[in-house]
Structure 1
Amino acid sequence: MVTVEGLTKEFPGGVRALDGLNLSIMDGEFFALLGPSGCGKTTLLRTIAGLESPTSGAVRIGDRDVTPLAPGARNVAMVFQDYALFPHMTVRENIAYPLKIKRQPRGEREARAGEIGGQLGLAGLMPRRPAELSGGQQQRVALARAVACRPSVFLFDEPLSNLDARLRLEARTFLKRLQRELAVTTVFVTHDQAEALALADRIAVMDAGQIRQIGTAREVFRRPSTTFVANFIGSTPMNLLSGEVRGDGIAVAGGTVPRPDGLSDGEPVTVGIRPEYLPVLTSAQHGALSGEVSIVEHLGTSSLVTVEIDGELVAGTVAEGDEPDTGTRVWLRPVPGRVLIYRVGDGTLVS
């Protein structure tokens, strides 16, 4: 288990990268730190690793307070974005290097490197050097090196970002399977929400040095706790529309959605509806939003249809082959139970 207690990190000039974070990562969990560039996720990972010293707060791994310990004394393994392989060493030597630092006998460390390399499909590449390997092969060498030292915690700093799209998908599947087999607590930093949703047991969405929401992939996708999380999570951005409470409903984009408890008549709100929960219809229906098709974007098995409604652009989805023509009038009817209401002042979820 990895526990962060009141962690703050300030850099010279008063820049606060981490702002009093509290976080518990369960034993054996695959946990993702997700957020835009500059949100503090890599600083948090490096602080857990011991590569950064916190200004205040503590880091615990298991029952040990590792805050004052050097990286080598924490029993963690880190895989970097650029893999950080030694160019003059062979694959076998790269994998075995952490064991050499621990002064294990040469025969033992070479046997261990061969065993791990074979498990990760590197058996035929052991005599090669990094320059002779593809990006995917280099990534597997970096993973093998991390696995070889039998760490308590894996720390991954965007390890897939240098791969092309197809290889990234393959590596993602491989990485998740490997983590399940090893059952090692894993902290994974990424700015790619698709990676986080696909890989992680739980996700912490970060912004400006703070954690905005922690939850499973399903929780943060279906019920983002703030408009920031709502706008950040999802392959297509959530529609965030201006609305106003009127009677027993909320008026939004020329239509009406149900009103939750806890709101006052006339109160302005932000209505959140994911395009996936806003099907495009070609005939009028009660409560539907109506407008003119502005853009159609083909996504494969579905298409994203952007509709102009009273000067606002609202995105919905339609099945492949049912795309409306640009300029035609369509109706968007929210899926029941999939409309989220946020307060205007602080952007927090009402219902």
Structure 2
Amino acid sequence: MSAIELRGLTKVYPGGVRALDALDLVIPDGEFFALLGPSGCGKTTLLRTIAGLETATSGSVVLGERDVTNIQPGARDLAMVFQDYALFPHMDVTDNIAYPLRIKKVAKAARGDKAREVGERLGLAQLMDRRPGQLSGGQQQRVALARVMATQARAFLFDEPLSNLDARLRLEARTFLKRLQRELGVTTVFVTHDQAEALAMADRMAVMEAGHIRQVGTPAEVFQRPINTFVASFIGSTPMNLLDAVVRGDSLEVSGCKVAVPESAAGLLTDGEKIVYGVRPEYMSYSAGPAEGALGGKVSIVENLGASHLVTLEVGTASVQAVVPEGREPVPGDDGYALPRADRALAYRDGDLVAAGRGGTEAGA
């Protein structure tokens, strides 16, 4: 197996479109690494450049100790699963799994044995004679995984492999895929636009925007301490509250309400300074009555999340959201108060993190 290192990797398309801008990144051997970002941020281009399907304009891709920047894709010893699985419709499961071995000129009997061995491991033993058109989406995905396993590649590259599955299958598939990667110990790069997938599966992750890597860290680090307002607004199934605030001594003024400054902010903020105050809805407690340091307003929207509700309060000119446990949710039109946890609050100056609460991980403090 091998680590993957990117050194100043740049990709510029004709017309001057800079898809990747001087990226530096190290993915250690055996790590499950997720690339996350909005559509068009460059994450798939980065994956394809690592694979050799796109040619780097400058910079280098190193696999282990080997610079593979100018090496053809087939000689890089990488295996890739595409969004549509790229299975051959005229081949049965056995031949689809064995195809990379056929390209490597492995003897027919040996590659058949390997395909059946891997297929059985992934629960495909009863499906080996079927063609892709006779399989469900989840079964097709397992065939695609079996094919990369059969190659015994030095690293796996996944381009949104779960996006074609329904919600229930996606949950099952991401658990299965993470367990499989742990068992194999293969360096894996996983591209997704679904933050729940990245947070649930990755050992570490990179959040990308417009060809740049904005933050690299563990899921906990990126979720709890996003280093800029882009990452803060992008990460989380419920968006972070990012509120204009003014420093007033040892407190902050937010839409006419006073809240505590984030822990660890002492000496970092100047009285009268305008900042952006950030706190996730999950770290806001809700009450029907006033509370010191709370943001008070009128309930405008209540969204059912299943075991909890997302409550939106109109606080002056700002909208503030809080997650409320099931059974305690208000109704639109109620007065309500959202109390942020100072140990989970964040302060941003000019878009960059300047102070953070001490709750959760200490990384990025």
Aligned residue in 2 for 1:339: 345
Q: State the 1:86 CA deviation.
A: 0.4
CA contact (8 A) 2:154 2:186 kept: yes
Distance 1:41 1:349, change over 3 A: farther
One-letter amino acid of the structure 2 residue matched with residue 54 of structure 1: A
Partner of 2:160: 158
1:255 aligns with 2:258: yes
Q: Which residue of 2 aligns with 1:282?
A: 288
Aligned to 1:198: 200
1:257 CA drift (Å): 2.1
1:350 to 325, 331, 355: 355
Q: CA deviation at 1:93?
A: 0.2
CA contact (8 A) 2:226 2:353 kept: no
Name the CA distance, whole Å, in 1 between partners of 2:322 and 2:82.
38
Give TM-score scaled by structure 1 length.
Answer: 0.98
Distance (whole Å) between structure 2 residues aligned to residue 57 and residue 215 of structure 1: 23
| Structure 1: 5+ residue stretches without partners | none
CA–CA distance in 2 between the matches of 1:54 and 1:148?
28
What are structure 2's unaligned runs of at least 5 residues?
357-365
| Offset at residue 347 of structure 1 (A) | 3.6
The alignment status of 1:75 with 2:96, answered yes or no, reads no
Distance 1:38 1:348 in 2: 25
What's the offset of the Cα at 1:250? 1.4
TM alignment of 1:1-150, pairs within 5 A: 1-150=3-152
Corresponding letter in the other structure for 2:218: T
**Sequence identity (%):** 63
Matched, 1:295 2:295: no
- Give secondary structure in 1 for the equivalent of 2:342: coil
Moved over 2 A (4+): 345-351
Once the two structures are TM-superposed, the CA of residue 16 in structure 1 deviates from its matched residue by 0.2
CA distance in 2, matches of 1:204, 1:317: 26
Deviation at 1:214, TM superposition (A): 0.3
CA contact (8 A) 2:9 2:58 kept: yes
- The Cα shift of 1:311 comes to 2.0
- Check whether the contact 1:242–1:268 (CA below 8 A) recurs between aligned residues: yes
User: Which residue matches 1:311?
Assistant: 317
**Number of equivalences:** 350
What code does the residue aligned with 1:258 have? V
Q: Does the 8 A contact of 2:251 with 2:258 survive in 1?
A: no
Q: Aligned pair 1:184/2:186, yes or no?
A: yes
What is the CA RMSD across the aligned residues, in angstroms? 0.9
TM-score, normalised by the number of residues in structure 2: 0.95
The alignment status of 1:229 with 2:251, answered yes or no, reads no
Cα deviation, residue 349, structure 1: 3.8
Deviation at 1:30, TM superposition (A): 0.1
> Could you tell me whether the CA contact under 8 Å between 1:91 and 1:126 is conserved in 2?
yes
Contact 2:261/2:342 (CA < 8 Å) preserved in 1?
Answer: no
Q: Which amino acid in structure 2 is aligned with residue 144 of structure 1?
A: A
Give a deviation string over 1:134-188, Cα, whole Å, max 9, x none. Answer: 1000000000000001000000000000100010001000000000000000000
Q: Write the distance in 2 (CA, Å) between the matches of 1:131 and 1:325.
A: 49
Counterpart Cα distance in 2 of 1:279 and 1:111: 58
